[in-house]
Structure 1
């Protein structure tokens, strides 16, 4: 499409939206809780086929920082220990690898606290106690879930992947365990989005020491890029 046609279509779109009161012509299908995927889209605006690793994926669409990329043509690995996650993602994210497990510094088992609002499910007892005491959501039950180190997962599933473009981590207070379970000398995502509601300096300092720069923030997330 040449420049003239692009300008013509842009002008026509503007004219129709105003004349016919059609604001949906400028509506874009973003899915993140606080607009994180708007920022991600800007960072990867020219990349059609990328690879992400989404830890604490929660849901194929709701609060997803990676679904917009999936729609764009990307694929990756979705990881979450909640029940039936593999089945749910298998129906809607068929190009992805979908794993029903948790990430921790040691391979083994951990207790998962399951809430009515599944977005708050956590391996952190501290976080679980805060959710309960603040009445954010009702605790339904606890279950034992499988844990694996992140570097073991990446070693198994990314042998043919030259570059991990995006690492997304949203694990309700268990973020440091995830970071410390990877081999940062070997696996270097271009961009990292990590939930950091409490603005934990330990998380920030850890990533800065790994030669990442904090480039953007939302109320709940920090976004880093390789220096």
Structure 2
């Protein structure tokens, strides 16, 4: 299984190569700082180990308490003697120190420095109070205070298998192990490896570990730095998110295509419905136009019939006037007048009856059309139109032609027979003639007959 290295220089990989076979091991981390970032012990904690984290900076101590519940976390400094000491805290860094010259250099580089007092314990006191039985490795990173930590240790009673001690000046490649290495060597430890920052020491009784500690981290250790692991994890998460987004996009595209298809179908249906509606409207408009034309025609025909009746009435009056003039001038014998008038009136009665029948048909057709559904439905459209009436010209030459066709010889022949016909008085009575009709002259009788017939025609036309 690939290891994840949290340490800044691969220290945890070197230690795991030598101590990975130990189950539920124990460590002491002096100057623990952050429990994850640049931590030498995080790899071991994740694999079941536990230990003691000593951190005087309050912010990092609180993080250790939160993330390392199995560990013992101490918010103290480690010194040669127990007591109270000055601590120069440089917030959010691993550069906090008990040495004023180290703090001054950090301040010169722009870091803020907070000076406070903290309790201090010796390493021996810590091991004694916790009843430590076996320490598999001790890590010391105290920014120049290494000798004070080592001076407060009891390596005769509490012997870590391996010690990893920072051996360079803070923020420098200059080594400072000459200040404290004698304390380690005199305690029965052998130097195993220098990784450029730290020195690795092995207890003489665990000399077999030197071979495994003497090699820097390499590809055969099968590990990844935490930065690489986080980058790969982030890349994997982004790839998964991208895959999800791609799948979602594909689904949305599929849905969009389906919606577009439905929209096209809806548009086609709408176009078809619009076309059908337009066709129906065209049919309705044509039916309306046809109905309006029929109405106009029927109304015109009705007006024509009425006008014809009026002309017939007027023509009769004119005929009566002409006949009277003819009689008065002696061109027509008065004895022929009754028979001629009866023949002429019979013909006019027939024509009048025919006109009435036609008028009745026209009125009935008009009423049927006005009561029809199409007439009521098209009423709003009909109101927006202006009725265009085509007026026919009146036949003004009808009367002269009629008079011309009354041949004088026929009138002279018919009038005497009419006057001598004994049914004349009964015909006069049936026409409501005056009582002294028999005493009148031929001319006056003709006038009476014409007036009576005219009145009768008017009553017939008016329907009374």
- Shorter-chain TM-score: what band? 0.7 to 0.9
- 1:58 and 2:33 aligned: yes
Correspondence for 1:148 among 118, 121, 137: 121
Offset from partner CA, 1:169-201 (integer Å, 9 cap, x none):
000000100000011211110000111112422
User: What CA distance in whole angstroms lies between the structure 2 residues aligned with 1:56 and 1:64?
Assistant: 10
TM-score (normalizing by structure 2): 0.41
2:23 is matched with: 48
Per the TM alignment, residue 144 of structure 1 is displaced from its structure 2 partner at its CA by 0.9
- 1:36 and 2:7 aligned: no
Correspondence for 2:50 among 67, 75, 80: 75
SS at structure 2 position matched to 1:53: strand
Equivalent residues of 1:190, 1:225 under 8 A apart? yes
Per the TM alignment, residue 118 of structure 1 is displaced from its structure 2 partner at its CA by 2.2
Offset from partner CA, 1:5-25 (integer Å, 9 cap, x none):
xxxxxxxxxxxxxxxxxxxxx
- 1:210 and 2:187 aligned: yes
Larger RCO of the pair (alpha carbons < 8 Å, separation 6+): 1
Equivalent residues of 1:84, 1:100 under 8 A apart? no
Equivalent residues of 2:5, 2:12 under 8 A apart? yes
1:119 is matched with: 94
Instruction: Return 5+ residue gaps in structure 2 as ranges.
Output: 169-174, 205-464
Per the TM alignment, residue 83 of structure 1 is displaced from its structure 2 partner at its CA by 1.2
- 1:176 and 2:147 aligned: yes
User: What CA distance in whole angstroms lies between the structure 2 residues aligned with 1:130 and 1:187?
Assistant: 35
2:277 is matched with: none
Q: 1:56 to 1:40 in 2, by over 3 A?
A: same
Q: How does 1:13-32 map to 2 (within 5 A)?
A: 28-32=3-7
1:89 is matched with: 64
TM-score (normalizing by structure 1): 0.82
Per the TM alignment, residue 41 of structure 1 is displaced from its structure 2 partner at its CA by 0.6
User: What CA distance in whole angstroms lies between the structure 1 residues aligned with 2:185 and 2:23?
Assistant: 28
Kindly tell me the number of residue pairs found equivalent between the two proteins. Answer: 198
Equivalent residues of 1:168, 1:193 under 8 A apart? yes
User: What CA distance in whole angstroms lies between the structure 2 residues aligned with 1:68 and 1:165?
Assistant: 14
User: What CA distance in whole angstroms lies between the structure 1 residues aligned with 2:8 and 2:129?
Assistant: 30
User: What CA distance in whole angstroms lies between the structure 1 residues aligned with 2:133 and 2:23?
Assistant: 15
SS at structure 1 position matched to 2:129: helix
SS at structure 2 position matched to 1:49: coil
SS at structure 2 position matched to 1:109: strand
Per the TM alignment, residue 211 of structure 1 is displaced from its structure 2 partner at its CA by 1.3
Which protein is bigger by CA-based radius of gyration?
2
1:163 is matched with: 134
CA RMSD of aligned residues (A): 1.5
Equivalent residues of 2:33, 2:61 under 8 A apart? no
Correspondence for 1:101 among 76, 91, 101: 76
User: What CA distance in whole angstroms lies between the structure 2 residues aligned with 1:86 and 1:70?
Assistant: 16
Per the TM alignment, residue 117 of structure 1 is displaced from its structure 2 partner at its CA by 4.0
Q: Which moved more, 1:201-210 or 1:52-61?
A: 201-210
